[in-house]
Amino acid sequence: MKKKATLDDIAKIVNLTKVSVSKALRDHPDISEPTKIKVKKVAKSLGYRPNLIARSLTSSKSKTIGVVVPKIAHNFFAHIVAGIQKSATAEGYGIVLTVSDENKKLEKQHIETLVSMQVEGLLVSVSMATQTPEVFKWVRSLQVPLVFFDRHIPGLGFNSVIIDDEKASKNAVKELLNRGLTNIAHIGGYDWIEIGRLRRSGYEKALAESGVALRPENVVDGGFGEDHGYNGFKKLIEQGATPDAIFAVTFPVALGVYKAMKELDSSYFESIKVLTIGADELFTVFSYPKFYVDQPAIQIGQQACDLLIREIKGIIEPSDCIEYIDTHFVENR
């Protein structure tokens, strides 16, 4: 195996110290332009690759951002990551992507690992299992910049980029009511995660403001994934619910509802209209869900990353500031 080229190898060829070679490779102003060109030419001929980890330990700047998402299988978070990548690259940052798989222990492990790698900041969408904020308080104590996106924990001193979940849910449910769909069920998430609590609140407010009574059998709580939608729909039927529409807290939940409908009775596809927050591009081709709130995922990722980089650069301070991303209601025809 060919020996890896080092700064010493370059220094011997160009007759400079290691420090001078290192500065030349980093375009330091102490080094003349001809010397920089000479050093870089030799480095390229030797196949030299800088040790970025060692450099970060010396400079305390890794030029990397740690990202923690709950899932990556569905388009929403994949598009958010694409937005993050675009903004990070434009500013000269790389990203290290981790997936919590909706597991609070794995989320904590990822955050601790990313901090130990000396990432310059963190972008986090909180897992649905996270009920206590200890790991985020630890990040705060270390003064590591962090921005929440999509799912956040308020009151910790971190900035967030999210949609106005209560407003978006209320307006979307009212759209169903305006279309004559008054028997609307809700398959919700956990109330300790703000999107679950606020989307449930928006649903209830839409009914109340429209003079429609909330039916206890029409509400099932339980999570944000496909299995929660699958089990939630079956529970609705078991509870005696006969809705003409269902408001699913997330698209994965709506996908689980779809699978349960297919298994139980495909006629549900026509008799029960489904509304969700977010949708998958593939399913919109098949007109499912019938209604959805469009979340501009790429924009969320870009804006969260831009906010974090401004904090890293000292342009802004962490302050529990919330930046809301606009959404719009879509009827899938």
Which of 3.40.50.720, 1.10.260.40, 3.30.70.100, 2.130.10.10 would CATH assign to domain 7-50?
Answer: 1.10.260.40
DSSP codes of every residue in 279-315:
--HHHHHTT-SSEEEE--HHHHHHHHHHHHHHHHTTS
How far apart are alpha carbons 6 and 43 in whole angstroms? 9
Is-contact 81 301, C-beta < 8 A? yes
How high is the pLDDT of residue 290? 92
How far apart are alpha carbons 74 and 79 in whole angstroms? 9
Residue 312 has pLDDT above 70, yes or no: yes
How high is the pLDDT of residue 60? 55
Question: Across residues 260-272, what is the average pLDDT?
Answer: 94
58, 144, 151: which is closest to 104 by C-alpha? 151
Structure tokens at 232: 């939630």
Which contiguous run of DSSP H or E holds residue 111? helix 104-116
| CATH number for the domain formed by residue range(s) 62-163+297-326 | 3.40.50.2300
| Lowest mean per-residue pLDDT among 55-59, 138-142, 207-211, 257-261 | 55-59
Residue 1 has pLDDT above 50, yes or no: no
Token pair 């370059």 is found at: 10
Delimit the domains of the chain by residue range: 7-50, 62-163+297-326, 165-294
Q: Is the peptide bond before 154 cis (omega within 30 degrees of 0)?
A: no
What digits encode the pLDDT tens for the residues 168-208? 999 999 999 999 999 999 999 988 888 999 999 999 999 99
Structure tokens at 119: 């990432």
For the stretch 271-310, what's the b/e string if a residue is b when 16 or more beta carbons lie within 10 angstroms of its beta carbon?
A: ebbbbbbbbbeebeeeebbbbbbbbbbbebbbbbbbbbbb
- SS3 label, residue 331: strand
HEC secondary structure over 188-245:
CCCCCCHHHHHHHHHHHHHHHHCCCCCCHHHEECCCCCHHHHHHHHHHHHHCCCCCCE
Show Cβ contacts of residue 282 under 8 Å, excluding neighbours closer than 6 positions: none
- Its CATH architecture, for the domain 165-294, is 3-Layer(aba) Sandwich (3.40)
How far apart are alpha carbons 257 and 223 in whole angstroms? 13
Residue 55 has pLDDT above 70, yes or no: no
The Cα-based distances of 52 to 21, 59, 102 in angstroms read 15, 10, 31
- State phi, psi for 118 to the nearest 5 degrees: 60, 40
Residue 57 has pLDDT above 70, yes or no: no
How high is the pLDDT of residue 105? 95
Residue 146's DSSP bridge partners are 122
Question: Across residues 159-165, what is the average pLDDT?
Answer: 96
Question: Across residues 74-94, what is the average pLDDT?
Answer: 94
- Most confidently modeled range among 30-44, 53-67, 84-98: 84-98
Structure tokens at 254: 């709506």
Residue 260 CA, distance from chain mean position? 27
Question: Across residues 134-159, what is the average pLDDT?
Answer: 93
pLDDT, averaged across the chain: 91
Structure tokens at 124: 């986090």
How high is the pLDDT of residue 51? 62
| Lowest mean per-residue pLDDT among 106-110, 275-279, 317-321 | 317-321
- Angle formed by the axes of helices 226-238 and 251-264, to 10°? 50
**Same CATH topology for 7-50 and 62-163+297-326?**
no
CA dihedral sign, ordered 181, 192, 151, 74:
negative
| Lowest mean per-residue pLDDT among 87-101, 201-215, 266-280 | 266-280
What digits encode the pLDDT tens for the residues 213-237? 999 999 998 789 999 999 999 999 9
Is-contact 68 98, C-beta < 8 A? yes
Is-contact 31 20, C-beta < 8 A? yes
Full-model pTM:
0.78
Where does the pLDDT of residue 211 fall: very low under 50, low under 70, confident under 90, or very high at 90 and above?
A: very high
